[in-house]
């Protein structure tokens, strides 16, 4: 490790840039035609899987809708909200009644 840290930071950075350039010269770049062909294949595969996944998602939703899955979920949510609202109203009423009772008793003492 200590042997690789020769020279200051600028020399090491310059050497790194030269190494990258040397490696890029060794790369065999594709021709324009090959690039177009492979790009077309990639785009077609993306479109194919986008359509496939959309169909799977829509089919799953349709199947769950036919089974009645969404109906039971909505009913459960509505009853839960009503129960929570009723419990909160009862608690608020009890709190206000106890506050009125304590206020009335302290006024009679004064």
pLDDT single digits (tens) 50-64: 999 999 999 999 999
Residue 85 domain-assigned (yes or no): yes
Q: Tokens 């060794």 — which residue?
A: 26
Residue 23 domain-assigned (yes or no): no
Lowest mean pLDDT among 6-10, 27-31, 91-95: 91-95
User: What one-character DSSP code corresponds to residue 49?
Assistant: H
CA distances from residue 35 to 28, 31, 41, 42 in whole angstroms, order as listed: 12, 6, 10, 11
Q: Which domain holds residue 106?
A: 80-110
Residue 41 domain-assigned (yes or no): yes
Residues 36 and 62 in one domain: yes
Residue 21 domain-assigned (yes or no): no
Sign of CA dihedral 81, 86, 91, 96: positive
- pLDDT for 24 equals 94
Residue 109 domain-assigned (yes or no): yes
| Count of structural domains within the chain | 2
Sign of CA dihedral 8, 13, 16, 21: negative
- pLDDT for 7 equals 74
Calculate the CA dihedral of residues 19, 23, 25, 28 and round it to 10 degrees: -170
As a whole number, mean pLDDT of residues 36-61 equals 97
Using an 8 Å Cβ cutoff, are 30 and 38 in contact?
A: yes
| pTM score | 0.44
């Amino acid at each position: 490790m200590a042997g690789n840290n020769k020279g200051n930071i600028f020399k090491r950075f310059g050497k790194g840039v030269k190494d990258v350039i040397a490696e890029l010269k060794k790369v065999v770049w594709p021709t324009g035609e090959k690039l177009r062909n492979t790009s077309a294949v990639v785009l077609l595969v993306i479109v194919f899987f986008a359509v496939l996944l959309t169909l799977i998602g829509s089919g799953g939703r349709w199947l769950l809708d036919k089974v009645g899955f969404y109906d039971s979920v909505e009913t459960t949510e509505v009853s839960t909200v009503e129960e929570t609202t009723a419990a909160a109203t009862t608690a608020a009423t009890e709190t206000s009644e106890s506050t009125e009772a304590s206020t009335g008793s302290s006024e009679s003492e004064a």
